Structure 1
């Protein structure tokens, strides 16, 4: 897949193409379904399939104080987009100057002249151009003017699950029944809601894979090592929305290693929170690799993949009580990960 960040990188005469545009945060199952269908249609028409997306997210530029947390960083977003079979992604730098383009300027410059669009795939709620003045009607009118068809995609909804996902507690099952309507539209917003509640198993059912947070392993307080459970601490600038505070079963994926290398993916108990037992303040994401005290992961790029929530963060009255609970967490994490049948394929 070609990755472009500027029009100058797009080959002269590129096209014909089938183009879609969006933020694709998380590249969830709804995104994946639309993009893979678009790729199939493009192949049948002898065209190339291209996604146009933006970095940073427009909300971070226009409303930085209230913009939602992103589910994935740019590198993971590109990797996930590549998995759909796209021929190219044009990731444009989003600035206030960029946003001042009229709808026609944007379509003409990027979709028509740069990418040679013959079909533009959009949702009914598409908005583009200065102050989001462009909508579906605008796109259709521009298509008639510039010679491209507009393919409108309908919202895709999740099917009800035949049984509770692995690791869901009775309380989580109750919340699922009362809070999530059947056939709700797949969306990044829905995933954020679930992660905010720590419901990572349900988030995975929408994403089509476990949610992950990616960052470099840095030095912490070494307190876990002193307690017999050394942890890999992620840097504060790790990419990916951090779920609710708590302890989770998951996988630690070492991205600097080949996917099939020994120890490339390791079972882990993941902790998110401030370590209240030790009066911590900073919120941290750290992982203990089950039954391993011999690993030196400092400086490595890793991804922590969340499979199931074990419990909320607790403040313990003694170190002995904390260690006993950690022992139980590790045992339960091991059981859940064995039952899961091993880690998902890497990407």
Structure 2
């Protein structure tokens, strides 16, 4: 997948394209349905499939104090879009100047002039242009004016429409299993492994702690079963703790992963410090509680690891090769 960070990176000789537009926060199943139909439309029109998105999220510009927490960061969004099979992604820097463009000005500048659009694939609830005055009907009218067709995608979901809001609600409640169903994959947080207080190591459960600048919405406090993919592409089962370590009167929320099945030989070679890792959440095992003493904490941690193994279906875990990372050219 090609990644263009702004109009100046779009090739001048770009051929015809099929285009969709959205924030794609989470790249959930609803987004994936749009992207699937985009790829189909691109094939039908012998065009390149291009997804147009924004950074930062428009709400961060217009309502910074009310902006919802982002499910994924830009890095994860690009990665997930690359897995859908589209040809390119155009990331537009969102600003008040961009927001001031009328629907017609926006479509002319970005879709027609820059992307040589032949077909636009969007949901019927699409909104774009100054004050979100552009609608699906507006897009159809502009298509008639500028010579592109418009394909409308119906809402995706059974009992409830798949949405980023639904994913955020599930993660805020610690219901990572429901979030996984809406996303079509486990929710992940990305970040660098940093040094912590080393309490886990002292207790016999050394953990990989993510730095505070990690990307991705952190689920509610608790203990989870999941997976950690290290910087070398090795994927390990893990028991993951999210919280402020109430037993030790902690304050700052931390994501800590105890890797299950780490090498028994040459343990010193298993060093994750400084690596960019991906932590995937499969299921919640329990909430976060404060224990009366260290023995009770250790006993509970042993039970957490046993339950994580059972949840992940790995009694004698060894690392697995992670799925190949899709190529992103930018």
TM value normalised by structure 2: 0.92
Q: Are residues 1:338 and 2:308 paired?
A: no
**For residue 188 of structure 2, what is the aligned residue in structure 1?**
212
Q: What's the CA shift for 1:277? A: 0.6
Q: What's the CA shift for 1:137? A: 2.2
Q: Are residues 1:185 and 2:161 paired?
A: yes
In the alignment, is the contact (CA less than 8 A) between 1:13 and 1:116 conserved in 2? no
Name the CA distance, whole Å, in 1 between partners of 2:280 and 2:84: 20
Q: What's the CA shift for 1:67? A: 0.9
Q: What's the CA shift for 1:85? A: 1.1
Segments of structure 1 that go 5 or more residues without pairing to the other structure are 159-182
Q: Are residues 1:321 and 2:296 paired?
A: yes
**For residue 240 of structure 1, what is the aligned residue in structure 2?**
216
Name the CA distance, whole Å, in 2 between partners of 1:297 and 1:33: 36
CA deviations 1:36-75 (Å, max 9, x no partner) are: 2220221122111111001111111111111111111111
Structure 1 residues 346, 200: CA separation in 2 closer, same or farther (over 3 Å shift)? Answer: farther
Three-state SS of the structure 1 residue aligned to 2:256 is strand
CA deviations 1:220-246 (Å, max 9, x no partner) are: 101111111011110101001100100
In the alignment, is the contact (CA less than 8 A) between 2:223 and 2:240 conserved in 1? yes
**For residue 177 of structure 1, what is the aligned residue in structure 2?**
none
In the alignment, is the contact (CA less than 8 A) between 2:41 and 2:119 conserved in 1? no
**For residue 62 of structure 1, what is the aligned residue in structure 2?**
62
Name the CA distance, whole Å, in 2 between partners of 1:88 and 1:195: 29
**CA RMSD of superposed structures (Å):** 1.7
Q: What's the CA shift for 1:218? A: 0.6
Out of 173, 180, 189, the residue aligned to residue 197 of structure 1 is 173
Name the CA distance, whole Å, in 2 between partners of 1:248 and 1:306: 6
Q: What's the CA shift for 1:291? A: 4.3
Three-state SS of the structure 2 residue aligned to 1:155 is coil
**For residue 309 of structure 1, what is the aligned residue in structure 2?**
284
Q: Are residues 1:268 and 2:238 paired?
A: yes
**For residue 257 of structure 2, what is the aligned residue in structure 1?**
287
**For residue 176 of structure 1, what is the aligned residue in structure 2?**
none
TM value normalised by structure 1: 0.88
Q: What's the CA shift for 1:185? A: 0.8
Name the CA distance, whole Å, in 1 between partners of 2:113 and 2:226: 46
In the alignment, is the contact (CA less than 8 A) between 2:30 and 2:156 conserved in 1? yes
Name the CA distance, whole Å, in 1 between partners of 2:183 and 2:122: 20
Segments of structure 2 that go 5 or more residues without pairing to the other structure are 326-330
Task: Select between 122-131 and 51-60 the one with higher mean Cα deviation.
Answer: 122-131
Q: What's the CA shift for 1:99? A: 1.2
Q: Are residues 1:221 and 2:197 paired?
A: yes
Larger RCO (CA under 8 A, 6+ residues apart): 2
Matches within 5 A, 1:149-160: 149-158=149-158
Name the CA distance, whole Å, in 2 between partners of 1:106 and 1:199: 39
Name the CA distance, whole Å, in 2 between partners of 1:90 and 1:6: 7
**For residue 328 of structure 2, what is the aligned residue in structure 1?**
none
In the alignment, is the contact (CA less than 8 A) between 2:172 and 2:219 conserved in 1? yes
**For residue 29 of structure 1, what is the aligned residue in structure 2?**
29
Name the CA distance, whole Å, in 1 between partners of 2:276 and 2:109: 37
Three-state SS of the structure 1 residue aligned to 2:313 is helix
**For residue 141 of structure 2, what is the aligned residue in structure 1?**
141
Name the CA distance, whole Å, in 2 between partners of 1:23 and 1:208: 18
Count of aligned residue pairs for this structure pair? 317
Task: Select between 272-281 and 121-130 the one with higher mean Cα deviation.
Answer: 121-130
Task: Select between 324-333 and 144-153 the one with higher mean Cα deviation.
Answer: 144-153
Name the CA distance, whole Å, in 1 between partners of 2:98 and 2:196: 40
**For residue 45 of structure 2, what is the aligned residue in structure 1?**
45
